[in-house]
Structures are given as C-alpha cells and as structure tokens.
A and B are shown apart, each in its own frame.
Chain A
Amino acid sequence: MEWTAETWEFVGRYLGAGFALGMGGIGAAVGMGMAAGKANEAMMRQPQQQSVVLRTMLIGQAVGGSPSIFALVIGLLILFKSSSASLAGPEFAAAVIAAGLSIGLGCFGSGLGCGWPGGSGCEGVARNPRRATSVSSSMIIGQAVAQSPSIFATVVALILLFVPVSATGYAAFGICLGAGVAMGAGALGPGIGSGTTAGGAVHGSSRWPRSQAATLRTMLIAQAVSQTPAIFGMLVAFIMLFAMRDLEGDIIGFAKTFGAGVAVGFGGVGPGIGSGTAGEFACRVTAARPRTDALILRTMLIGQAVSQSTAIYSLIIALVLLYVV
C-alpha cells in the first residue's frame, strides 16, 4: 500500500481519537470508582442513610464524569473530521493528534480530581444527614472548580482542530504538538490538586459544619493557586498558536516549540498536585480549628508559593526556548 497524504490523515484521526478517549476516560472512571467505594463504606457504617448516600454518590459521579464527556465529544470530532485545502496530509495528522493529547491529558486530571470530593461527600452525608444539602453543595462547588483545567484543555483542542497554524514545515508540527502537550499535561496536575483540596474541604465542612464558610474560603484560594500551572500551559499554547508566525520552518523550529511545550506542560504537574495537597491539609485544619484560620492561610500560601517555583522555572525555560535560543 502506498503512503499518501490520505494515509497520514487516517493515522492522525485514529491516534488522536485514541489519545482523547483512552486517557480522558481513565481519570473520570477512577474518580467515579473512588466515590462509589466511599459510598459503600458509608452505607456499611450507617445502613439507614443509604438513600441519601446513594443520591449524593450519583450527583458526585455525574458532575465528576463530565470531563470524560468533553473527551468523548472532542474524540468524535477528531474521528469524523475531514481534511480541507488549508489543513491536509501530515499537518492535519499533527493537529488532530495534538488535540487528542490536549483533551486526553487535561480530562484525565480533572476526572480523577473530582473523585476526592465525591468520596468525602458520601462519607459526610452519612455522618451528618441533616446537613446533606450543604455538604452536597460544597461538593459540587469543589468539583466545578476542579473541572476548569479540563475546560481550558477543551478550548485549546477546539482551536487546534478548527484554526489552521500559520507556520510552515517542521515548525507547524512542533507548534501543534507543543501546544497540545503544554495544555494537556499542564492541566493534569491542577485538576488532581484542585480535587484533593476540595476533598479536604468537604470532609472538614461535613465534620465541623459551623466553620463551613472559613473552610470554603480556604478551599477556593487554594484551588486558585493550584491552577496557576494550567494557566501557564494555556498561555504558552496560545503564544505558540497565535504569535509564532515567523518561526523558521526547519527542524530547529520543531525542537524549540515541542521542547517548550514539554517543559511548561510536565513542569506544571508537580506544583499543581503539591499546592493541592497543601490546600487539602489547610482546609481540614481550618474546619477543625477556625480560630487559627488566618495563620493557616498565611502558612499555606507561603508553602504553595515555594511549591510553584519549579513551575515558574519551567515557564522561563519555555520562554527562553521560544524567544532567546
């Protein structure tokens, strides 16, 4: 069989849809399993609360499953996308594979992250069934924020699919793949981290309901800090997609853009997860001891700022790759 432009397009469609649904499904599936596991534990301890636990589990799973639905939609768009005059052959393959990487890795993190608040929510309503509404609402707020990295990843995947890259030659491949990895891997850590923070907050506010307002405030601040690496990833992806028109089309142009994408994308995984862990402990202890909340918030922010330093090094290396070398 001859290797033609059409062959490249089929390779791209199948690989891109595979990355999108393969990786995008894992996180949501594990997250929903975590919620179901905790629901079983809660029902075992308080069998008389089974109906309220089941309802909370289903709400948590429905919200936590939405990243996998984003992945399904983008995966189907990739699978049935037809080539056009401006996007065909190997360039088409690079764009759809990159869209698959962006949505697959991005939805992995958010889907997994939503498992922690889902599980804590089931435990919380069983422990404190009279406050089931307020526990479920903290759970849904936490999960909604944990999903924003997957929404960033969806936006970048749609841009990759529908806006042709202006650079030529190897640089076009580098820009597509680099932007996909920067956004996808960049959203992975923040999705998981925002989820663990929300898990700690739901646990704390169901156990100590009187300090719910302080706990939710700490949760939202911690989640916002934890999402900085996803914003760095989106920034670098947009720079590459829209501001690299006069990049040379040789293999050096490919290396610069792909290297920048890997640096800022994977560089954000650790700081995202780490800031989320700091937030989880801070939310639990704020709920238990609300009188020390200002001191805890200060320590959490100092610790998170130090944890973010490696994400900033990665951003610097990515910008040096794009603009200096």
Chain B
Amino acid sequence: MDPAALLSILNTVVGQAAEQAAISGADVIKAGALIGAGICMGFGAIGPGVGEGFAAGKACEAIGRNPQEAGLLTRTMLIGQAVSESTGIYSLVVALLMLFVVAA
C-alpha cells in the first residue's frame, strides 16, 4: 500500500479518536522504533528465562543425588546458563540500538 495513503487513513482513524493534530511520517517512524524496542526486549526475554530456570532445576536435582560434586555441577550450570543468556543479550542490544540509534 502507498505509505501516504496509509498515513492519511491512520490520521482519520486515530485523529478522530483523540481529536488531535495530524501525525507526521517522522513521528510514525520514531513511534515504531520505540514500540519495536519494547516488543524486542519483552518477547526476547521469554526463552532465556525458561531455559535458565530448567538448567537450575536439573542442577539442584543432580546436587541432591551427588552432593560431593556440587562445585562441578554449579560451574556447569552457570556455563550453560551463560550460553542460554546470549539471546537475551542480543535482544537487549537490539532494543538499545532501536532506542538510541534508530529513534534518535
């Protein structure tokens, strides 16, 4: 769809809702980057959280069976969690890029 036509439809629909001044194209781009940063970090945080929790649970189970190896098991858990964390950090970096580079 033609971007100008899209913008005019947006102006009619939301402009009527808020009885506000017209929205400019630059505003739409900045708003998209800001909402995008929120979606990026929010959904990006789901996977690492679930995965790291599972690793922690299995580490507790293993330490319960073999408490002598607690040091080794905790170290392995932390290495595994650090790798699982990487996608969360990618999301954080992309969100910060959108906030301070794209939207600036």
Q: In the bound complex, do residue A299 and residue B60 qualify as a contact, i.e. CB atoms below 8 Å apart?
A: yes
Q: In the bound complex, do residue B43 and residue A317 qualify as a contact, i.e. CB atoms below 8 Å apart?
A: no
Q: In the bound complex, do residue B58 and residue A281 qualify as a contact, i.e. CB atoms below 8 Å apart?
A: yes
Q: In the bound complex, do residue B85 and residue A282 qualify as a contact, i.e. CB atoms below 8 Å apart?
A: no
Q: In the bound complex, do residue A272 and residue B60 qualify as a contact, i.e. CB atoms below 8 Å apart?
A: no
Closest Cβ of chain A: how far from B23's Cβ, in Å? 5
Contact of B57 among A262, A280, A289 (CB under 8 A): A280
A258 sits at the interface (CB 8 A): yes
Q: Which residue of B lies closest to A262 (CB)?
A: B38
Closest Cβ of chain A: how far from B11's Cβ, in Å? 10
Q: In the bound complex, do residue B59 and residue A310 qualify as a contact, i.e. CB atoms below 8 Å apart?
A: no
Q: In the bound complex, do residue A270 and residue B50 qualify as a contact, i.e. CB atoms below 8 Å apart?
A: yes
Residues of B within 8 A of A3 (CB): 16
Within 8 A of A (CB), among B31-60: 31-32, 34-39, 41-60
Given the known interface contacts A285-B61, A309-B88, A317-B99, the answer about A277 and B31 at a Cβ–Cβ threshold of 8 Å is no
A255 sits at the interface (CB 8 A): yes
Q: Residues 274-294 of chain A: 1 if any B CB is under 8 Å from the residue's CB, otherwise 0?
A: 111111111011101100100
Closest Cβ of chain B: how far from A180's Cβ, in Å? 14
Query: Measured between alpha carbons, how far is A265 from B43 in the docked complex, in Å?
Result: 9
Residues of B within 8 A of A256 (CB): 34
Contact of B77 among A255, A268, A269, A299 (CB under 8 A): A299
Q: In the bound complex, do residue B53 and residue A307 qualify as a contact, i.e. CB atoms below 8 Å apart?
A: yes
Q: In the bound complex, do residue B30 and residue A310 qualify as a contact, i.e. CB atoms below 8 Å apart?
A: no
Closest Cβ of chain A: how far from B90's Cβ, in Å? 11
Query: Measured between alpha carbons, how far is A308 from B53 in the docked complex, in Å?
Result: 9
Query: Measured between alpha carbons, how far is A261 from B35 in the docked complex, in Å?
Result: 9
Residues of B within 8 A of A306 (CB): 52, 56, 78, 81, 85
Query: Measured between alpha carbons, how far is A187 from B20 in the docked complex, in Å?
Result: 34
Residues of A within 8 A of B49 (CB): 189, 269-275, 307-308, 310-311
Q: In the bound complex, do residue A274 and residue B50 qualify as a contact, i.e. CB atoms below 8 Å apart?
A: yes
A8 sits at the interface (CB 8 A): yes
Query: Measured between alpha carbons, how far is A256 from B33 in the docked complex, in Å?
Result: 10
Q: In the bound complex, do residue B53 and residue A273 qualify as a contact, i.e. CB atoms below 8 Å apart?
A: yes
Q: In the bound complex, do residue A278 and residue B103 qualify as a contact, i.e. CB atoms below 8 Å apart?
A: no
B17 sits at the interface (CB 8 A): yes
Query: Measured between alpha carbons, how far is A180 from B99 in the docked complex, in Å?
Result: 22
Q: In the bound complex, do residue A263 and residue B52 qualify as a contact, i.e. CB atoms below 8 Å apart?
A: no
Q: In the bound complex, do residue B46 and residue A251 qualify as a contact, i.e. CB atoms below 8 Å apart?
A: no
A313 sits at the interface (CB 8 A): yes
Closest Cβ of chain B: how far from A132's Cβ, in Å? 27
Query: Measured between alpha carbons, how far is A325 from B32 in the docked complex, in Å?
Result: 13
A320 sits at the interface (CB 8 A): yes
Q: In the bound complex, do residue A277 and residue B57 qualify as a contact, i.e. CB atoms below 8 Å apart?
A: yes
Query: Measured between alpha carbons, how far is A258 from B39 in the docked complex, in Å?
Result: 10
Query: Measured between alpha carbons, how far is A296 from B74 in the docked complex, in Å?
Result: 10
A318 sits at the interface (CB 8 A): yes
Closest Cβ of chain B: how far from A226's Cβ, in Å? 9
Q: In the bound complex, do residue A281 and residue B60 qualify as a contact, i.e. CB atoms below 8 Å apart?
A: yes
Q: In the bound complex, do residue B34 and residue A299 qualify as a contact, i.e. CB atoms below 8 Å apart?
A: no
Residues of A within 8 A of B48 (CB): 270, 307, 309-310
Query: Measured between alpha carbons, how far is A313 from B17 in the docked complex, in Å?
Result: 34
Query: Measured between alpha carbons, how far is A130 from B63 in the docked complex, in Å?
Result: 31
Q: In the bound complex, do residue B60 and residue A278 qualify as a contact, i.e. CB atoms below 8 Å apart?
A: yes
B14 sits at the interface (CB 8 A): yes
Residues of A within 8 A of B41 (CB): 263, 267, 313-314, 317
- Chain B interface (Cβ < 8 Å from any Cβ of A): 14, 16-18, 20-21, 23, 27-28, 30-32, 34-39, 41-61, 63-65, 67, 70, 73-74, 77-78, 81, 85, 88-89, 91-92, 95-96, 99-100, 103
6 new A-B pairs (CB below 8 Å) besides A273-B50, A325-B103?
A173-B17, A185-B42, A267-B45, A268-B45, A292-B67, A310-B85
Q: List 16 A-B contacts (CB under 8 A).
A: A3-B16, A90-B18, A251-B27, A258-B38, A259-B38, A266-B45, A270-B46, A275-B53, A276-B53, A281-B58, A292-B67, A299-B70, A307-B81, A310-B44, A317-B38, A325-B34
